[in-house]
Amino acid sequence: MNLRLLSIAFVVLVIISLSGCKLTQHEQSLFEEMGGHSTITKLTENFVDEISRNQEIFKYFARSDVVRFKQKFSEHICMLSGGPCKYTGDNMVDVHTGMNINEHDFNLGVELLINAMNRSDIPHTTQNKILATLVPHRQDIIYLE
Residues lying near ligand HEM in the complex (CB under 6 A) are found at 57, 60-61, 64-65, 68-69, 72-73, 76, 89-90, 95-96, 99, 101, 105-106, 109, 134, 137, 141
Q: How many CB atoms lie within 10 A of CB 44?
A: 22
Q: Which one, 42 or 137, has the nearer CB to ligand HEM? A: 137
What Rg value do the Cα atoms of the chain yield, rounded?
22
Q: Please, what is the minimum distance in Å from the beta carbon of residue 138 to ligand HEM?
A: 7
Q: Which one, 32 or 65, has the nearer CB to ligand HEM? A: 65
Q: Which one, 18 or 62, has the nearer CB to ligand HEM? A: 62
Amino acid type, 41: T
Q: Are 131 and 110 in contact (CB under 8 A)?
A: yes
Q: Which residues contact 47 (CB under 8 A, 6 or more apart)?
A: 73, 112, 113, 116
Q: Please, what is the minimum distance in Å from the beta carbon of residue 96 to ligand HEM?
A: 6
